[in-house]
Amino acid sequence: MQTMARVFAEAAQLHGSGHVRTALAAYLGHDVVGYLQAPAAEHTHRQLLTGAAQLITLLGTMSADSGADALAQRYHHTAARLAADAGDRAVFAITLRAMATHAHDLGHHTPAVMNLAGRAADAARDAPRIIRAYTQAHLAVTAAPEDRHTALTALHQAERLHQQADSAPGPFTAYPLAALHYQRAQTLAALGDRSHAIGAYTTSLRLRTPTERHARTLTHAHLAETLLAHGHLDAALTHWTHFLDNYPHLSSVRASRRLDVMRRHLVPHHRHRPAAALLDRAAPLR
């Protein structure tokens, strides 16, 4: 189950969730359900519950990336119950963080979402430092629209914990530095500090590995949007070009939404020849 979690997570990062989600759902339905129903010692059964919670959390996140928002919410709630039954506070915290991330990505920048991110950070108090950094970073993102002090405190805490942390490869044991810089950029952008957000997005891109195509593509899009908001049209066009280079290789509603945002932002600049060229290039894409 741990091996399959790595396989599915890596495939989603490379190709987007649309190509992977059905296979993961089938694996859960055909194999994992059988593992959970088989006789086992209590310790083994708890490990199986943890593994199932991790896989269902991945499935929920993939469903969110595919635009199946209600289904994603159900999966995340199921994963949280399984993690609680297993007594695994770290996986429980990760699942709550995934729920808060989904809500924030849908535009729900509300105190309720910030409270959910805060619950994730609280649940991770006794977890490894890398998990605590992971939850604190998203608390910073969700707090930024409402509470500057909480956002900056959580961001500094995430950075400190990340520097002190040891991590092992895997979707539930690693939190790449590139991802931390991405959340740092999101926080700073929400706080109105666009120049430092641009720097953080740029650092995130530099640290991304070739297998992180999905994250890299979204980062190009967000960096382009931030650059344009800062008045740098030509620099934004460079990153939207990279976004379009990668877009056809992904099956991701999150990427599709960024494509729609790109079109809206570039229409007012349609008389600028490079912007018009990108709009023409994007026209057949869905």
Q: Say whether both 3 and 141 belong to one domain.
A: yes
- What tens digit of pLDDT does each residue of 188-217 get? 999 999 999 999 999 999 999 999 999 999
Q: Is residue 133 a part of any domain in this protein?
A: yes
Residues of the chain scoring pLDDT < 70:
none
Q: Is residue 118 a part of any domain in this protein?
A: yes
Q: Is residue 228 a part of any domain in this protein?
A: yes
Domain of 159, in residue numbers:
1-8+96-101+111-207
pLDDT given at position 39 = 93
Q: Say whether both 122 and 190 belong to one domain.
A: yes
Q: What angle do CA 253, 76, 260 make, to 5 degrees?
A: 15
pLDDT given at position 217 = 97
Give whole-number Cα distances, 166 to 153, 162, 174, 176, in Å.
Answer: 22, 8, 9, 11
- Which of 162, 180, 207 corresponds to the end of one domain? 207
Q: Say whether both 256 and 120 belong to one domain.
A: no
Three-class DSSP labels, the chain: CHHHHHHHHHHHHHHCHHHCHHHHHHHHHHHHHHHHHCCCCHHHHHHHHHHHHHHHHHHHHHHHHCCCHHHHHHHHHHHHHHHHHHCCHHHHHHHHHHHHHHHHHCCCCCHHHHHHHHHHHHHCCCCCHHHHHHHHHHHHHHHCCCCHHHHHHHHHHHHHHHHHCCCCCCCCCCCCHHHHHHHHHHHHHHCCCHHHHHHHHHHHHHHCCCCCHHHHHHHHHHHHHHHHHCCCHHHHHHHHHHHHHHHHHCCCHHHHHHHHHHHHHHHHHCCCHHHHHHHHHHCCCC
Q: Is residue 2 a part of any domain in this protein?
A: yes
Q: Is residue 227 a part of any domain in this protein?
A: yes
pLDDT given at position 152 = 97
pLDDT given at position 112 = 92
- What tens digit of pLDDT does each residue of 259-280 get? 999 999 999 999 999 999 999 9
How many domains is the chain partitioned into structurally? Answer: 2
Q: Say whether both 285 and 229 belong to one domain.
A: yes
Q: Say whether both 120 and 197 belong to one domain.
A: yes
pLDDT given at position 19 = 82
Q: Say whether both 141 and 3 belong to one domain.
A: yes
- Which of 155, 186, 207 corresponds to the end of one domain? 207
pLDDT given at position 167 = 81
Mean pLDDT over each residue of the chain, to the nearest integer: 96
Q: Say whether both 127 and 201 belong to one domain.
A: yes
pLDDT given at position 140 = 97
Q: Say whether both 115 and 231 belong to one domain.
A: no
Q: Is residue 55 a part of any domain in this protein?
A: no
